[in-house]
């Protein structure tokens, strides 16, 4: 494969026509931080545009209700009833706000590295090979399949410096029906000779990627470009300021790394001595705003934290990566209490798993370690908190032009069907632990079901993800 070609439009999953569909069963969501809502015997109507048009809890006759609501004939509606098992439930699709797609083959490979030497030893050699589009096609296809299989319906991807390979990633996401922000990495200093670009090369390739993606999906409902200066040490001030001007003039998304590793912070300050802090480099370059995603944010000062709140940036918390390459422990509650948007990122391959469910579990465990160190419960996150970060938090940080993360009228039906008692499930279920809706008191049934949710978060994996829907279309069916 020497030159990237557009995939045929007929192969694009997100253009497949769908019928009006009524889903019936149990729906789980987190309308606010720490609050878990369980909707039982619930009918959710999704129109032909993938938008939720009704949510009717305790619906006694979902067929009649749907036909009356829509005015459609029976043959014009599809019904999906999952109430046959007490361990089946819908949850919103997971949103991964920080993932390096080209690093996927290196998942689980760290050696004894920390951030900067890990980049030199493992990351840059792999990423530089993406000038080969055959390799890029193979790896990017697998990344999208694996993340979808784990329930990730939307992702903010870092690609490489190569425009053709980045365009290919956008096309593959569109073909499979996954929502994605696609970032061509910009890096024009302090990078290996085999993996670096000039300012002019970075500028030209960035503009070509934007043109390609906006041509492929003019609505921006599925794929969008995201400006991606890798991090301050690898970008000149000139490049960052050009990207900042581009961001502001076109209201583009932007993503980068911030305060991941203490040595990284020292290097940034050495390279940019005229700035007040690492965060100030991005701020004065015009890169911070409500559509900016900052990964890690572990070692922020109070002033830097306030600057993020002031500019409306979102944070991608990456606990599996932070632990794997010993970067540190992000203070999530500290950020949330300052009204900073926080989400979850797998950060493959600094993180070892493409599963946001696993990242959610590690976010909870890292918060417990912070509690043990401080001897107060301020930083502690609950299972309900981390599920919020994985769904609503991700939607807030991505800041797209469609509503995601909840089962509410006007929101898109991006969802997972979870089953705890499926064949080969890693979650052991027992009849006496089931909620027995209608046989026990509502309080007792709810308590049992909440225990099952905790069990899923700690023990579940992709085997429990039976179906995945994006914009009302089934993109994974196991």
Task: Tell which of 361, 376, 398 closes a domain.
Answer: 398
Q: What would the DSSP string read from start to end of 82-100?
A: -TT-TTEEEEEPEEEEEEE
Other CB atoms within 10 Å distance of the CB of residue 235: 28
Per DSSP, the three-state class of 381 is coil
Distance between CA atoms of residues 460 and 453, nearest Å: 10
Q: Which CATH number covers residue 54?
A: 2.30.40.10
* Eight-class DSSP state of 389: I
The answer on pLDDT for 8 being more than 50 is: no
**Which residues 6+ apart lie within 8 Å of 33 measured at CB?**
336, 385, 388, 393
* Eight-class DSSP state of 59: -
Residue 460 lies in a domain: yes
Residue 133 lies in a domain: yes
Q: Are residues 39 and 121 in the same domain?
A: no
Contact 259, 285 (CB under 8 A): no
Q: Are residues 138 and 127 in the same domain?
A: yes
Distance between CA atoms of residues 154 and 356, nearest Å: 11
Task: Tell which of 398, 426, 461 closes a domain.
Answer: 398
- Confidence grade of residue 115 (pLDDT, cut at 50, 70, 90): confident
Which pLDDT belongs to residue 10?
Answer: 38
Residue 3 lies in a domain: no
Q: Are residues 50 and 111 in the same domain?
A: no
Q: How far is CA 265 from the centre of its chain?
A: 25
449-478 tens-digit pLDDT: 999 999 999 999 999 999 999 999 999 999
Q: Are residues 347 and 425 in the same domain?
A: no
Q: What's the rounded mean pLDDT across residues 175-204?
A: 97
Residue 98 lies in a domain: yes
Q: Are residues 150 and 168 in the same domain?
A: yes
Q: What's the rounded mean pLDDT across residues 301-313?
A: 98
Residue 64 lies in a domain: yes
Residue 7 lies in a domain: no
251-299 tens-digit pLDDT: 999 999 999 999 999 999 999 999 999 999 999 999 999 999 999 999 9
Question: What tokens does 311 get?
Answer: 């500019």
Q: Are residues 71 and 145 in the same domain?
A: no
Q: How many domains does the chain have?
A: 2
Question: What tokens does 40 get?
Answer: 């039982």
- Confidence grade of residue 360 (pLDDT, cut at 50, 70, 90): very high
Q: Which CATH number covers residue 224?
A: 3.20.20.140
Q: Are residues 86 and 158 in the same domain?
A: no
Q: Are residues 283 and 197 in the same domain?
A: yes
Which pLDDT belongs to residue 318?
Answer: 99
Q: Are residues 470 and 389 in the same domain?
A: no
Which pLDDT belongs to residue 117?
Answer: 87
Q: Are residues 126 and 195 in the same domain?
A: yes
In the chain, what is the greatest distance between 2 CA atoms, to the nearest angstrom? Answer: 69
Contact 123, 349 (CB under 8 A): yes
Residue 432 lies in a domain: yes
Distance between CA atoms of residues 276 and 300, nearest Å: 13
Provide the residue range defining the domain that includes 465. 15-92+406-477
Q: What's the rounded mean pLDDT across residues 123-148?
A: 96
Which whole-number Å values give the CA distances from 184 to 96, 181, 194, 353, 368, in the listed order? Answer: 17, 10, 17, 22, 36
Which pLDDT belongs to residue 9?
Answer: 43
As a three-state string, the secondary structure of 296-310 is: ECCCCCHHHHHHHHH
Distance between CA atoms of residues 110 and 327, nearest Å: 13
The answer on pLDDT for 3 being more than 70 is: no
Distance between CA atoms of residues 289 and 29, nearest Å: 28
Q: Are residues 461 and 358 in the same domain?
A: no
Residue 305 lies in a domain: yes
Task: Tell which of 398, 415, 436 closes a domain.
Answer: 398
Distance between CA atoms of residues 458 and 358, nearest Å: 8
Q: Are residues 128 and 68 in the same domain?
A: no
């Amino acid at each position: 494969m020497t030159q990237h070609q557009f995939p045929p439009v007929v192969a694009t999953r997100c253009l497949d026509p769908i019928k009006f569909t009524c889903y019936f069963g149990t729906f789980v969501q987190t309308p606010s931080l720490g609050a878990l809502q369980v909707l039982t015997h619930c009918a959710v109507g999704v129109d032909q545009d993938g938008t939720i048009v009704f949510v009717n809890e305790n619906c006694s006759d979902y067929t009649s209700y749907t036909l009356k609501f829509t005015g459609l004939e029976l043959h014009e509606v599809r019904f999906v009833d999952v109430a046959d098992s007490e361990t089946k439930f819908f949850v919103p699709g997971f949103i991964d706000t920080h993932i390096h797609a080209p690093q996927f083959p290196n998942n689980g490979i760290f050696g004894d590295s920390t951030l900067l030497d890990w980049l030199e030893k493992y990351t840059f050699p792999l990423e530089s090979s993406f000038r080969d589009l055959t390799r890029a096609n193979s790896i990017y296809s697998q990344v999208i399949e694996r993340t979808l299989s784990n329930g990730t319906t939307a992702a903010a991807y870092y690609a490489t410096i190569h425009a053709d390979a980045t365009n290919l990633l956008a096309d593959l996401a569109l073909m499979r029906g996954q929502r994605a922000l696609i970032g061509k990495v910009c890096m024009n200093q302090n990078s290996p000779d085999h993996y670096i670009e000039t300012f002019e090369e970075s500028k030209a390739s960035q503009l070509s990627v934007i043109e390609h993606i906006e041509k492929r999906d003019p609505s921006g409902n599925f794929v969008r470009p995201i400006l991606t200066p890798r991090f301050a040490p690898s970008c000149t001030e000139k490049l960052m300021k050009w990207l900042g001007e581009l961001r502001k003039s076109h209201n583009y998304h932007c993503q980068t790394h911030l305060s991941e590793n203490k040595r990284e912070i020292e290097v940034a300050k050495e390279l940019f001595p005229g700035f007040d802090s690492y965060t100030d480099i991005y701020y004065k370059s015009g890169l911070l705003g409500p559509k900016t995603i900052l990964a890690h944010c572990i070692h922020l000062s109070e002033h830097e934290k306030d600057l993020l709140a002031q500019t409306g940036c979102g944070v991608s918390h990456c606990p599996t990566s932070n632990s794997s390459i010993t970067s540190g422990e992000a203070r999530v509650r500290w950020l949330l209490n300052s009204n900073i948007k926080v989400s979850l990122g797998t950060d493959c391959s600094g993180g070892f798993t493409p599963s946001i469910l696993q990242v959610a579990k590690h976010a909870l465990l890292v918060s417990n370690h912070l509690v043990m160190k401080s001897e107060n419960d301020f930083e502690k996150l609950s299972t309900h908190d981390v599920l919020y970060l994985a769904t609503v938090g991700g939607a807030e940080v991505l800041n797209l032009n469609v509503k995601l993360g909840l089962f509410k009228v006007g929101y898109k039906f991006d969802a997972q069907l979870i089953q705890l008692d499926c064949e080969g499930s890693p979650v052991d279920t027992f009849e006496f632990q089931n909620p027995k809706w209608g046989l026990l008191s509502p309080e007792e049934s709810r308590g049992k079901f909440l225990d099952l949710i905790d069990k899923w978060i700690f023990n579940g994996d992709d085997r429990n993800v039976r179906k995945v829907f994006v914009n009302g279309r089934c993109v994974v069916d196991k």
